[in-house]
Amino acid sequence: MAYKIVIDPGHGGSDWGASYEGRKEKDDNLNLALAVGQILSDNGIDVEYTRTDDVYNTPFEKAMMGNNAGADFFISFHRNATGIPMASTGVETLVFSDSGIKAEMARNINEELEKVGFVNRGVVERPNLVVLKRTKMPAILIETGFIDNEEDNKLFDQEFDRIAEAIADGILTTLDLGGLAETPLYKVQVGAYEDKAEADKLTDSLRGNGFEPYMIFQNGLYKVQIGAYEKLSNAVAMENRLRNAGYPTFITT
C-alpha cells in the first residue's frame, strides 16, 4: 500500500508553542511525533518529518513541505493550553472540515487516546489554521492534552509509549478500513504479540523457512501475517503449508 505520511512536530526553535512551568510544548510535540513516526515506519508507512530537531519553520513552510513530499496525509502534533492552570483537560483533534477520511482518522485517534485515559473533547473544525488550510492532502492536528494541566502532563509522561501507540493505531486503523472497503482479502495470521521483539523473531523464523511474512501493528499488537488472498482456498492452502512447518495459524480478513 505504501502510504506516505508527513509528520509535523508543532513549533520549534525560537517558537516554543505553549509552555508551563518550564515545560515547552515544542519538546513534547517532537518527542511524541518521533515516537509515532517510528511505529508508522515499522508498519511499512513511508514517513517524512517537517523537523527532527529543535528548528523553526513557519506553518506555511511546513504545509509546503507536506505538499512537496507528495504525501497522502499530513499529521501535526501539538499540545493544548488555556493559559489558566488546570482549567481544561483532554485531547482534541483539529481538521479543516469535519468530513471525509481526515475526520474519520481524527475520530479514531481521539477514541484510541480516550482508552489510554484522556478525556475525549472530540473533532474540532479549524478552517483558518495554515497547516490545515494550505496542505493539499487530508490533514489533521492532534492536541494531546493540555500542557497547563498537571494531570494531562502526568498521563503524557507516564503513558508516553501507550499514547504513541494509540495515535499510530488510530492512523493505521483508518488506513486499513479504507484499503479493505472494496474486496475482503484473506490473510493468514501466524502470531500476535505486545512485544515487537517477539514478532520480529517469528518473522525471521518464517523467512528462514521460505515464507514471506509481514508485520502490522493493530489494536496494540504486532501481528505477523502472510497474504492477502482474494480466494479463501488460497489462504487455506497457505495455512496448511504453515501448519506442516509447525506454525499455529488462523485466517483473518
User: By the criterion CB under 5 A, which residues form the site for Zn ion?
Assistant: 10, 17, 78
CB of 24 to Zn ion, least distance (A): 10
The residue (of 94 and 172) whose beta carbon lies closer to Zn ion is: 94
Indicate if 159 belongs to the active site: no
When CB distances to Zn ion are compared, the closest residue is: 78
Residue with cell 475520530: 107
Q: Which three cell numbers stand for residue 31?
A: 518527542
Distance CA 205, CA 215 (A): 13
CB of 29 to Zn ion, least distance (A): 7
The residue (of 54 and 72) whose beta carbon lies closer to Zn ion is: 54
Which position among 143, 151, 165, 194 bears the catalytic label? 143
CB of 76 to Zn ion, least distance (A): 8
Locate all alpha helices (DSSP H) within the chain, ordered by sequence.
Answer: 25-42, 59-69, 100-116, 130-133, 150-158, 160-180, 196-208, 232-244
The residue (of 113 and 235) whose beta carbon lies closer to Zn ion is: 113
The residue (of 133 and 196) whose beta carbon lies closer to Zn ion is: 133
Q: At what angle do helices 160-180 and 25-42 cross, to 10 degrees?
A: 50
CB of 79 to Zn ion, least distance (A): 6
**In angstroms, what CA-CA distances link 195 with 10, 82, 219, 222, 223?**
30, 37, 13, 7, 10
Distance CA 25, CA 15 (A): 9
C-beta atoms surrounding 196 within 10 Å: 14
Phi, psi of 28 (to 5 degrees): -60, -45
Q: Which three cell numbers stand for residue 85?
A: 492552570
Contact 224, 203 (CB under 8 A): yes
User: How far, in whole angstroms, is CA 164 from its chain's centroid?
Assistant: 7
CB of 81 to Zn ion, least distance (A): 8
Short-list 234, 218, 1, 208, CA closest to 226: 234
The residue (of 144 and 203) whose beta carbon lies closer to Zn ion is: 144
- Catalytically active residues are 143
